[in-house]
Structure 1
Amino acid sequence: MHGPASPGWLLVALCAATGAYCLLRMRSRVEEQRRAAGGEALMGFGMAAMAVPATVFTPPSWAWPGYAVVFGAAALHALWAARADAHHLHHLVGTSAMVYMAVAMAASPGHHHGTGGSGLPLVTGALLLYFAGYVLLSGARLLPAGAGTTTGRWGDRPELARACRLSMGIGMVAMLLTL
Structure 2
Amino acid sequence: MTSELPEMRASDADRERIAERLRDAVAEGRLDMAEFEERLDLAYKARTHGELVPLVRDLPAAATPVESGDPAWPARIGRPATSKGAFAFWSGFGRRGKWSVARNFTAAVLQGGGDIDLRDADFEDREIVIRCFAVMGGIQVVVPPELHVEVTGLGFMGGFDDRGAGEGTPGSPRVRITGFALMGGVDVRRKERKAARKQLRK
Query: TM-score, length-normalised on structure 1?
Result: 0.28
In terms of Rg, which structure is larger?
2
More helix by share: 1
Higher relative contact order (CA 8 A, sep 6+): 1
Query: TM-score, length-normalised on structure 2?
Result: 0.26
More strand by share: 2
